Amino acid sequence: MPEKVAVKPDAWLGTTCTLDHDGCVVCSDAGIALRVVSLQGEDALCQDAAGNEALIAIELVAPVRVGDVLLTHGGVAIGRVGEVVT
Amino acid sequence: MKYVNEFRNAGIAQAVAAQIATLADPQRHYKVMEICGGHTHTIYRHGIKDLLPEQVELVHGPGCPVCVLPMGRVDDGIAVAERSEVIFTCFGDMMRVPGSKGTLLEIKAQGADVRMVYSPLDALRIAKENPDREVVFFAIGFETTAPSTALTLKRAKREGIRNFSVFCNHVTIVPPVRALLDSPDLRLDAFIGPGHVSTVIGCRPYEFIATDYGKPVAVAGFEPLDLLQSIMMLMRQLAEGRCEVENQYSRIVPWEGNLPALKSMSEVFELRPYFEWRGLGFIAQSALKLSQDYADFDSEIRFSVPGVRVADPKACQCGEVLKGVLKPWECRVFGSACTPEHPLGTLMVSSEGACAAYFNFGRKTREREPVGAAE
């Protein structure tokens, strides 16, 4: 799983930020793979390997099931990630 | 889930690098451009460049959306952010991008209500929580990010959130690539296509690079082995005299892209007739603005932004670096007047900018010619 985390609290700005240890995941046009934990209407609660959770809009990749792995960017799922079999 | 370790295996990386060396003609010099800033970051972070044979040169492309934004657009954003009724929201890197009179972070320190958000949906939530304030979202990014702005605007319209608007700076990837291909001072042999942009637009939009310009393309993922494999695919095409668009990142990128995302974008956006790119100048139909149906949510209409045009600092050579004419360390202010702490040019601001990536991962010094070499 990615070393990058989806959301990291950023206390001094009083909001959440995407600045992980090596850059801004939004501005880099990079996506993050997250697994769907539960469905909440148009959104899904998703989790990365580090246990960070984020609410992700899923209407661009619907239908989505719990356990699916989505490519997410800026709080929105833009694709699906195929499992790599090794 | 298996997504990272498999793509960072040192043994496989060395085997692929050896294959690339076998495919490279020792009498030829190869220039391969990675379009996406995320690829630039991976190349430096993982030392990909050091695994390649000498005759294979990687050229950094214009694919960092922060890096290509002209100073005038930052100034326009700041003009909106300074209004007392406005809560101005933007992504992290945008806070530090210098306009002609400062950054969003600096005006925040002076009292402007500027907030960093993770998603445009967070900006919409702020608008709902502050109905007596105007909430503006500074939208920036290629086709990877544009769907999130489109989806947010559709929700805002559906829910009737009237105090929300978007200052749209979304750009599209194909026109600048075409501009680079038409540039007389640049000779490129092949392209590494942007993986996550292609998740949205698919691989088909790059076909003109192969058919019209005779250059191979490999759409690639962001792990070290993704990049090495894509370079191997390109070298194989060049060795065999083929010119095709290949998809190295097929575990994520569908050939046709994400059709619901493209449909949402076409509803919410329309192409601007032209847009200024830092270092590349004005490029026709290379950026997005809100469509007529969403004009009520357009910050540029709602606030009458000044629309200033500002020339880059004279010492700054971001343009030449963006076009791949200069390497980062060849810029006259690299590592001296321009550092990640005090960036002069945008390529030093974002960690995906070629200069910041170069600076942060060990290649800090300018590579100087030895004394007497010029004689």
Contact criterion met (CB < 8 Å) for A27 and B4: no
CA B130 to chain CA centroid, Å, is 32
Q: What is the mean pLDDT of residues B295-321?
A: 85
At residue B351, does pLDDT exceed 90?
no
At residue B306, does pLDDT exceed 90?
no
Q: How many helices (H) and strands (E) does chain B have?
A: 15, 13
Nearest CB to A75 within list B119, B142, B254:
B119
What pLDDT is stored for residue B167 in this prediction?
97
pLDDT grade, residue A16 (50/70/90)?
Answer: very low
CA B203 to chain CA centroid, Å, is 17
CB < 8 Å from A in window 183-212 of B: 194, 196-197, 199-200
Q: Which residue has the tokens 């993704």?
A: B226
User: pLDDT by residue (tens digit) across B72-114?
Assistant: 999 999 999 999 999 999 988 788 888 888 889 999 999 999 9
What pLDDT is stored for residue B373 in this prediction?
44
What pLDDT is stored for residue B218 in this prediction?
98
CB < 8 Å from A in window 76-95 of B: 91-94
- Whether the CB-CB separation of B48 and B42 falls below 8 Å is answered with yes
User: pLDDT by residue (tens digit) across B180-218?
Assistant: 888 877 788 999 999 999 999 999 999 999 999 999 999
Q: In chain B, whose CA is at the least distance from the CA of A34? A: B1
What separation in angstroms does the CA of B46 have from each of A3, B201, B303? 14, 27, 44
Q: In chain A, whose CA is at the least distance from the CA of B144? A: A29
Q: Return the DSSP state at B298.
A: B
At residue B143, does pLDDT exceed 50?
yes
Q: In chain B, whose CA is at the least distance from the CA of A33? A: B3
What pLDDT is stored for residue B368 in this prediction?
47
Lowest mean pLDDT among B90-94, B193-197, B332-336, B370-374: B370-374
User: pLDDT by residue (tens digit) across A39-81?
Assistant: 999 999 999 877 888 899 999 999 999 999 999 988 999 999 8
What pLDDT is stored for residue B1 in this prediction?
45
Which residue type is seen at B46? H
- Whether the CB-CB separation of B128 and B89 falls below 8 Å is answered with no
Q: How far apart are CA B347 and CA B318, in angstroms?
A: 6
At residue B55, does pLDDT exceed 60?
yes
Q: How far apart are CA B288 and CA B298, in angstroms?
A: 12
- Could you tell me the pTM of the whole model? 0.85
User: pLDDT by residue (tens digit) across B162-184?
Assistant: 999 999 999 999 998 998 888 87
What pLDDT is stored for residue B2 in this prediction?
54
Alpha helical stretches, state H, chain B = 10-23, 37-45, 48-51, 71-81, 104-109, 120-129, 146-159, 174-182, 195-201, 207-211, 224-240, 259-268, 299-302, 318-322, 354-360
- Highest-pLDDT range among A41-55, B250-264, B269-283: B250-264
Lowest mean pLDDT among B244-248, B261-265, B340-344: B340-344
Q: In degrees rounded to 5, what are phi and psi of residue B127? A: -65, -40
Q: With b meaning 16 or more CB within 10 Å and e meaning fewer, what string describes B223-252?
A: bbbbbbbbbbbbbbbbeeeebebbbbbeeb
Contact criterion met (CB < 8 Å) for B254 and A84: no
Contact criterion met (CB < 8 Å) for A73 and B252: no
CB < 8 Å from A in window 103-122 of B: 115-122
Q: Return the DSSP state at B295.
A: G
Work out the mean pLDDT of chain B and round it to a whole number. Answer: 89
Instruction: Tally the C-alpha atoms within 13 A of residue B33's C-alpha that lie toward its C-beta.
Output: 26
Q: In chain A, whose CA is at the least distance from the CA of B352? A: A28
What separation in angstroms does the CA of B227 have from each of A26, B61, B109, B117, B333? 20, 15, 40, 30, 30
Q: Return the DSSP state at B293.
A: G
Q: Cis omega before residue B65 (within 30°)?
A: no
Contact criterion met (CB < 8 Å) for A29 and B37: yes
What pLDDT is stored for residue A23 in this prediction?
46
Task: Give, to the nearest 10 degrees, the angle between helix B259-268 and helix B146-159.
Answer: 60
pLDDT grade, residue B345 (50/70/90)?
Answer: confident
Nearest CB to B3 within list A76, A80, A84:
A84
Residue A23's DSSP bridge partners are: A20
Q: Which residues, at least 6 apart from B212, have a Cβ–Cβ distance to it below 8 Å?
A: none
Q: Return the DSSP state at A57.
A: E
Q: How far apart are CA A40 and CA A55, in angstroms?
A: 9
ipTM: 0.83
